[in-house]
Structure 1
Amino acid sequence: MDHFIYTDGQLHAEEVPLADIARTVGTPVYVYSVATLERHYRLFTEALSPMPHLVCFAVKSNSNLAVLKLLGDLGAGMDVVSLGEYLRARAAGVPGERIVFSGVGKTRAEIRATLEGGIRQYNVESEPELEVISAIAAELGVVAPVAIRVNPDVDAKTHEKIATGKSENKFGIPISKARAVYGLAAALPGIEVVGIDVHIGSQLTDLAPFEEAYLKVAELTGQLRADGHDIRRLDLGGGLGIPYTRSNEVPPLPSDYGALIQRTLGHLGCEIEIEPGRLISGNAGVLVSETIYVKQGEGRDFLILDAAMNDLVRPSMYGAHHDIVPVVEPAPGAAAQPYDVVGPVCETGDTFAKGRPLPAMAAGDLVAFRSAGAYGAVMSSEYNSRPLVPEVLVKGDHFAVIRARPTFDEMLNRDSIPVWL
């Protein structure tokens, strides 16, 4: 469910017409709904309520400070994968004890800064990383809390670029080596083992791969406790999918996911950590764009928008589907016709959809890309020297710009020409 609905013939974000935002801020523009973000976060906290838990929002899905503050104020932790994301979470008011640092390539500078700033735990991906964390912690006179990420060799049955739990993926330590690596961790002076981490991929629409992975984690927990390790946290990653189409996609509900966790891991008495990003922020945002031209081609019509692949890269990178809807509600029974929906960037890859049925469109008409709140603005760039798309947050009947569109002068002034040119 989201809070983007037609009211009086206009698509609204909560109580604000998207056309009003487009007139004020310009297009393309990302628009997020406070009510949707809050609702989706609470679905997870309710689903995990029978167990001690912390819901850590995956900052990589949407790193805007206003979004992070909104969720942090509700009690969310944060899962970060870089020092920049850590500093964003801290700037949004999230304390270090609610921040988990994941990622396969943590640098020495990042480890030092986060140890000094405060951290809940590191999700460790390799033996060399474990040794570096220990050395830096010992240098600082502290002990680093760690969970070791195990790779359970489970096929998440998702897009190959967002699958992370197979043996050929770069993530984690093979589960067959876990006991030996935990033994190494226990012997290092700067390490405190607190738990196990597992994450098998994103946009999962079936609970079966989760169950397979979690049963392996349950077995490993028993083995590690028998070896003398105090396993008190289980970080289960994120990955629960969202419906990108309004037709046949019906991913599992957070309540079903919570019930699965309770059934497979609840008996262990561990604190459960999860790292949802997409399911919290995905359907909480849309990208609004204006039609520049409608072009008749050879056997097809092109809807040329002012949004481009640099603003929303998912269709180009992953072949991803986003529902595209007109901001003005079509009349009942209005005929639809197929359009290739494209952007202005000079690449064939700058294509959002092919043969997408839409009502008859004209220059100046606005459209909205649904389910664009995750991996949208956060992956945008200034390719073709196009300014970064602005972001807007809506609450009830008012809105605020939470990231402004940079001016061309601001973009140009970030470069410098050497004096010898």
Structure 2
Amino acid sequence: MTATPHFPIRDGILHAEDIPLPELADRHGTPLYVYSRAALHEAWHRYEHAIAGRNALVCYGVKANSNLAVLHEFQRLGAGFDIVSGGELARVLAAGANPNRVVFSGVGKQGWELRQALTAGIKCFNVESAAELERLADIAQEMGVRAPVSLRVNPDVDAKTHPYISTGLKENKFGVDIREAPSLYRQARQHPGLEIVGVDCHIGSQITQISPYLDALDKLLDLIDALAADGITLRHLDLGGGLGIRYTDETPPDPAELLNPVFAALHQRGLHYLQVILEPGRSLVGNAGILLTRVEYLKCTEARNFAIVDAAMNDLMRPALYEAWHGVVPVQPRAGIPQETYDIVGPICESGDWLARDRKLPLEQGDLLAIQSAGAYGFSMASHYNTRPCAAEVLVDGQNAWVIRPRESIQELFAQERIPKTADGR
């Protein structure tokens, strides 16, 4: 990949909307996450168009990028939110979200998180085990409320994606076996602390084909029919998220390509009354962000050439974790410099600290590079490994740019740590 509509090349310089990236690097330093507001809005409008006139709710998957400014953008645009922790609930509420448009997923919800969400009055808990269902029921009854629940069922469908982000197979930790779901729904119906509202499914991430969704949908519709025959009527069908983006040469489907056959199937089965919920994350933010980094050193060895940059696996974990591919482009390509094949690596003391491999680039020490498609699972997976401050984050809108998270100082990294006194008081 080279330029994209919201990160164009003008006069030989890569921009974020209307701002030259070197200007942002000079002003805010590197590594630096840069997001395009126009790209966020464009991605949202694709979903908005797909659900227009339909009974549907798009809940942004907060784990993809949880910066308050990003959450506030989607809240303003009309999104609900899919959360997986009490911390994420606190974030979306701080960003102005209506809790009635929040669904709570995740396999390990703790008691305090369940109480927090019940107090807030969220739309639904996506329950992932019999043990969680029992705990939630007991806590809700203790609090004198009814918890709105759906079961996240595992349909044993192969999403044809990376095994670490495939979640719908029976060997995955997520959800309950779809064959066991009717029994659990019957248990839930008997408990005064629970209110059955829907069924949920999420088969994976970075999915570039519609067929796995439709395979899962067929199984979900059969389950809904079986529950209805047992006197259990649902209000919504949650298909999860997972639509992919283009990192290199993928051709991911548009949201309408997924939703059109979904609504057709619902009408065919007489289930038009069900609200459809989607939980997209990556497809809303992935290509709305880049990671800006500077080449510190060029190191050529007998085996490989390395471009050692100031960003690292603690800033962008996906390549080390998934062997993920991200486009890498010079911000201001230098004329007359031959292309060489480089591994783009960071300064962390791990051989796994790489951002890209075998890239032909014309580079000199000090050059700026843009790591593309870094808006999802970039900053949200960052760490302080090697006592490295996290990168700053900037949101660009035309010719304006806002620091939406300042760069951390080294002192902030250990400000909350304490050295205990020894027995002699020293």
Show the 5 A alignment for 1:274-353.
274-329=278-333, 335-353=338-356
1:261 aligns with 2:265: no
Mean CA deviation greater in 2-11 or 21-30: 2-11
RMSD over aligned Cα atoms = 1.3
Give the deviation of 1:258 after TM superposition.
Answer: 1.8
Q: What is the rounded CA distance, in whole Å, between the counterparts of 1:263 and 1:55 in structure 2? A: 18
In structure 1, the residue corresponding to 2:242 is in which secondary structure?
coil
Which of residues 144, 149, 168 in structure 1 aligns to 2:171?
A: 168
In structure 1, the residue corresponding to 2:276 is in which secondary structure?
strand
Question: 1:95 maps to what in 2?
Answer: 98
Q: Which residue type is aligned with residue 367 of structure 2?
A: D
Q: C-alpha offsets along residues 105-150 of structure 1, whole Å, 9 cap, x if unaligned?
A: 1111100111011211000011111111111111111111111111
Q: What is the rounded CA distance, in whole Å, between the counterparts of 1:154 and 1:50 in structure 2? A: 30
In structure 2, the residue corresponding to 1:193 is in which secondary structure?
strand
Shift of the 84–2 alpha-carbon distance from structure 1 to 2, 3 Å rule, reads farther
1:105 aligns with 2:94: no
Shift of the 85–410 alpha-carbon distance from structure 1 to 2, 3 Å rule, reads same
Q: Which residue type is aligned with residue 113 of structure 1?
A: Q
Q: What is the rounded CA distance, in whole Å, between the counterparts of 1:2 and 1:266 in structure 2? A: 37
Shift of the 101–203 alpha-carbon distance from structure 1 to 2, 3 Å rule, reads same
Q: What is the rounded CA distance, in whole Å, between the counterparts of 1:365 and 1:223 in structure 2? A: 61
Q: What is the rounded CA distance, in whole Å, between the counterparts of 2:412 and 2:418 in structure 1? A: 12
Question: 2:218 maps to what in 1?
Answer: 215
Question: 2:37 maps to what in 1?
Answer: 34
Q: Which residue type is aligned with residue 284 of structure 2?
A: I
In structure 1, the residue corresponding to 2:113 is in which secondary structure?
helix
In structure 2, the residue corresponding to 1:287 is in which secondary structure?
strand
Q: What is the rounded CA distance, in whole Å, between the counterparts of 1:184 and 1:13 in structure 2? A: 53
1:184 aligns with 2:167: no
Give the deviation of 1:330 after TM superposition.
Answer: 5.8
- Any stretches of 5+ residues in structure 2 without a counterpart? none
Give the deviation of 1:266 after TM superposition.
Answer: 4.4
Which of residues 85, 90, 104 in structure 2 aligns to 1:82?
A: 85
Give the deviation of 1:220 after TM superposition.
Answer: 1.1
Q: What is the rounded CA distance, in whole Å, between the counterparts of 1:33 and 1:340 in structure 2? A: 27
Q: Which residue type is aligned with residue 231 of structure 1?
A: L
In structure 1, the residue corresponding to 2:414 is in which secondary structure?
helix
Question: 2:375 maps to what in 1?
Answer: 373
Give the deviation of 1:417 after TM superposition.
Answer: 0.7
Question: 2:391 maps to what in 1?
Answer: 389
In structure 2, the residue corresponding to 1:196 is in which secondary structure?
strand
Q: What is the rounded CA distance, in whole Å, between the counterparts of 1:409 and 1:219 in structure 2? A: 57
Show the 5 A alignment for 1:199-278.
199-245=202-248, 248-267=249-268, 268-269=271-272, 270-278=274-282
Q: What is the rounded CA distance, in whole Å, between the counterparts of 1:323 and 1:225 in structure 2? A: 48
Q: C-alpha offsets along residues 337-388 of structure 1, whole Å, 9 cap, x if unaligned?
A: 21111111111101122211112x1111000000000000000011000001
Asked whether the equivalents of residues 122 and 145 of structure 1 are also in contact (C-alpha less than 8 Å), the reply is yes
In structure 1, the residue corresponding to 2:179 is in which secondary structure?
helix
In structure 1, the residue corresponding to 2:295 is in which secondary structure?
strand
Shift of the 253–329 alpha-carbon distance from structure 1 to 2, 3 Å rule, reads farther
Q: What is the rounded CA distance, in whole Å, between the counterparts of 2:228 and 2:61 in structure 1? A: 29
Asked whether the equivalents of residues 51 and 266 of structure 1 are also in contact (C-alpha less than 8 Å), the reply is no
In structure 1, the residue corresponding to 2:8 is in which secondary structure?
strand
Asked whether the equivalents of residues 11 and 329 of structure 1 are also in contact (C-alpha less than 8 Å), the reply is no
In structure 1, the residue corresponding to 2:107 is in which secondary structure?
coil
In structure 2, the residue corresponding to 1:70 is in which secondary structure?
helix
Give the deviation of 1:334 after TM superposition.
Answer: 7.4
- Any stretches of 5+ residues in structure 1 without a counterpart? none
Q: Which residue type is aligned with residue 30 of structure 2?
A: T
Give the deviation of 1:48 after TM superposition.
Answer: 2.1
Give the deviation of 1:172 after TM superposition.
Answer: 0.8
Asked whether the equivalents of residues 134 and 188 of structure 1 are also in contact (C-alpha less than 8 Å), the reply is yes
Give the deviation of 1:2 after TM superposition.
Answer: 4.7
Question: 1:411 maps to what in 2?
Answer: 413
Q: Which residue type is aligned with residue 44 of structure 1?
A: Y
Shift of the 184–329 alpha-carbon distance from structure 1 to 2, 3 Å rule, reads same
Q: What is the rounded CA distance, in whole Å, between the counterparts of 2:334 and 2:63 in structure 1? A: 35
Which of residues 392, 403, 406 in structure 2 aligns to 1:401?
A: 403
Give the deviation of 1:183 after TM superposition.
Answer: 0.3
Q: What is the rounded CA distance, in whole Å, between the counterparts of 1:167 and 1:21 in structure 2? A: 46
TM-score, length of structure 2 as denominator length: 0.95
Q: Which residue type is aligned with residue 130 of structure 2?
A: E
In structure 2, the residue corresponding to 1:340 is in which secondary structure?
strand
TM-score, length of structure 1 as denominator length: 0.97
Q: What is the rounded CA distance, in whole Å, between the counterparts of 1:231 and 1:212 in structure 2? A: 20
Q: What is the rounded CA distance, in whole Å, between the counterparts of 2:173 and 2:139 in structure 1? A: 24
What is the aligned residue count?
417
Q: Which residue type is aligned with residue 286 of structure 1?
A: I
Question: 1:62 maps to what in 2?
Answer: 65
Mean CA deviation greater in 224-233 or 304-313: 224-233
Asked whether the equivalents of residues 235 and 272 of structure 1 are also in contact (C-alpha less than 8 Å), the reply is yes
Q: Which residue type is aligned with residue 316 of structure 1?
A: A
Q: Which residue type is aligned with residue 367 of structure 1?
A: L
